[in-house]
Structure 1
Amino acid sequence: MSTPKVTVLMPVYNAGPFLREAMESILRQTFADFEFLIIDDGSTDDSVAIVESYNDARIRLFKNEKNLGISATLNKGIALSSTELIARMDADDISYPTRLQKQYDYMLRHPACALLSTWARVVTEDKKFVRLERYRSNFYYYNLTFECWMYHPTIMFRKKAAERVDMYSMPYSEDYDLFWKLSTRFEIGNLAEPLLDYRLSSSSLNAVTKKKEYDLANEQNVLRNIRYYMGDDFTISMPVLECLRHNFGPVVETGDMAEILACFSVLDAITERILRTENPNGDPRSIRAAHYFKKRFMLMELGKALPKAQSVGLLLRTNAWPILCALALHSLRWRIKEAIRIVGNPLRVLNPQRVV
């Protein structure tokens, strides 16, 4: 049997209710030249029996003797992989039929790219639509400093690149940690289309059972990222750090305008350091644009949360009028389009030949 071109790596832990649907979404891919590396991490339900019920030569099942946790299990999978390209999959999500083909084709066209994500469609446990996670692909590098836009089961990465950055090295927020490390040394990419349904599960580690641990790890990751650009001795208050993560409650609760303004001065300083840091993803135009939109979002959210006097003071002291004018113009354009959609284009009556 020839060596496959892609490894699909899927850890499993008590995933019985959704496992079969997740597996079949991979086994029915239009791109068929892959190995399906499944590692059971000590499940106590029928997960192993479900995997073993499939008679497909592409499936390679390994069983941990005891529960090792997600990072150790994924690192084991990377070591066991027989291919350079590794696609991640989770045992409760659904990959679209063309996902692997589109990611494989992209990686072939972009040999310098080490990490590729896609948009994700977020659904409930019973697959009801919640939202579509869609972000500008050229903003990913900048925004990975402050938050993780990439959904773990949408990822395809290169094995050698992951090994060079020490693979998964945190017990929680392990995906964000790996993605950011890869982004500091290699090109990253994103396919601007949804290629996976991401299921919100009641047994999710990062959103439910280990939410506090993941929240703390995410905060530590962001602080590490900022210090990468600003220096190991850089200090930042917790409310300002949380504001940069788009958690605005702590800085609003301080009621301290100096602390609120610090959110923007710190953001500007970090952005300047990012611009000056050599990086394969460091396109200045994209970085400045991502900074503009992040700053605009922060101003809008803080403006809504603060008392009116403070909100006006914030806009004045951050020289936000260009942003406000752009927002007003965007709002006006949207209202005109909506009016035309509802009542029709009033200019049509100027041309009698077009009146129905």
Structure 2
Amino acid sequence: MVTAPEFSLLLPVYAGDTPAFLRLAYESSVDDQVVRPAEAVIVQDGPVPAPLEAELARIERDSPIPVRIVRLPENRGLTVALNAGLDACAYPVVARMDADDVSDPQRFRKQWAIMNEGADLVGTGMAEFESDAAIVAAVRVPPTGADRIREHARTHNPFNHPTMMYRVSALDAVGRYQPLGKMEDYWLGVRLIASGARVENIAEPLVRYRVGAGAFARRGGWQEAKTEWRLQREMLRIGFITRTQYVRNVVVKGVYRLMPASLKRVLFRRFVGSGLPGDK
């Protein structure tokens, strides 16, 4: 039997977000959901422009569920923002959402049912779009089943970060989010799997992910390559991958990160279902 939902929605916002996108993200994750969160925690990561401030005020005023806005005095980045938001969440389960994506109305009903069976983390598939959420450019299909997820995680991120629903106690047990460039979510997932947390994915794309201009360029370059290599060192350090896997990953991921954006786009579009690097 599925119990009444007792989970928080965690949504970070920063100065670069667009008010109209935020409204769509929030309403799709609250107003339109078959199973709604019990509360919403919005983390304002530093000062934001007046139009975005006005949209936050409107959400706080008109939301059908309680809203708590955590305002950080300066922009600290996603890791700090999410950890601050976790501190503010009143419920033991938290659902992630980004300020420019769109949730399917069935998303939380399906994730909550699995969480209610004892899972510590449940992700979903994700459909990419560029400007119109109704026009899908690609679909990211994650691995399902604990064994496949663990094996996949040795070479690729097995979870789509904006789709995650997780148990706060499981995150507390592994030290929550830790700084690792744009791969803090991958590192969190690896640590959860290594700790024995119960993880699952729903293959169905229950979140639509907005791919902005320059997305593939941001997935590459020396800085991203160095972050990738640092992640691989950490995975080797905790014994999650072997030294052979480490060498293989460093070479393959390094080559991918340093490719021209146009070539990365072709490869990602072709192998997106297989999990080539393309983390949000």
- Whether TM-score is above 0.5 comes out as yes
* CA apart distance, 1:142: 0.9
Q: TM-score, normalised by structure 2?
A: 0.77
Partner of 1:142: 151
Residue 198 of structure 2, aligned match among 184, 187, 192: 187
Q: Secondary structure at the match of 1:15?
A: coil
Cα distance change, pair 105–12 in 1 and its aligned pair in 2 (3 A): same
| 1:78-117 equivalences in 2 (<5 Å) | 78-109=86-117, 111=118, 113-117=119-123
| 1:1-20 equivalences in 2 (<5 Å) | 5-13=6-14, 14-16=16-18, 17-20=20-23
Q: TM-score, normalised by structure 1?
A: 0.62
Which structure has more RCO (C-alpha within 8 Å, separation ≥ 6)? Answer: 2
- Given that residues 125 and 199 in structure 1 are in contact (C-alpha distance below 8 angstroms), is that contact kept between their aligned partners in structure 2? yes
Cα distance change, pair 237–10 in 1 and its aligned pair in 2 (3 A): closer
How far apart are the structure 2 equivalents of 1:137 and 1:153? 17
Confirm or deny that 1:131 pairs with 2:104.
Answer: no
Cα distance change, pair 236–107 in 1 and its aligned pair in 2 (3 A): closer
- Given that residues 122 and 129 in structure 1 are in contact (C-alpha distance below 8 angstroms), is that contact kept between their aligned partners in structure 2? yes
- Given that residues 12 and 41 in structure 1 are in contact (C-alpha distance below 8 angstroms), is that contact kept between their aligned partners in structure 2? yes
Q: Of the two, which has the highest radius of gyration? A: 1
- Given that residues 9 and 41 in structure 2 are in contact (C-alpha distance below 8 angstroms), is that contact kept between their aligned partners in structure 1? yes
- Greater helix percent: which structure? 1
- Given that residues 12 and 47 in structure 1 are in contact (C-alpha distance below 8 angstroms), is that contact kept between their aligned partners in structure 2? no
Residue 51 of structure 1, aligned match among 24, 48, 56: 56
How far apart are the structure 1 equivalents of 2:12 and 2:251? 34
Partner of 1:159: 168
Code of the aligned partner of 1:100: F
Partner of 1:178: 188
* CA apart distance, 1:82: 0.5
Cα distance change, pair 80–66 in 1 and its aligned pair in 2 (3 A): same
Cα distance change, pair 217–174 in 1 and its aligned pair in 2 (3 A): same
How far apart are the structure 2 equivalents of 1:77 and 1:230? 28
The alignment's C-alpha RMSD in Å is 2.9
Code of the aligned partner of 1:184: A
Residue 213 of structure 2, aligned match among 190, 199, 202: 202
Unaligned runs of 5+ in 2: 259-273, 275-280
Partner of 1:63: 71
| 1:31-46 equivalences in 2 (<5 Å) | 31-45=35-49, 46=51
Residue 234 of structure 2, aligned match among 220, 224, 229: 224
Cα distance change, pair 155–48 in 1 and its aligned pair in 2 (3 A): same
Cα distance change, pair 231–162 in 1 and its aligned pair in 2 (3 A): closer
Query: Number of aligned pairs?
Result: 244
* CA apart distance, 1:67: 0.9
Cα distance change, pair 129–235 in 1 and its aligned pair in 2 (3 A): closer
Unaligned runs of 5+ in 1: 251-296, 298-356
Cα distance change, pair 227–62 in 1 and its aligned pair in 2 (3 A): closer
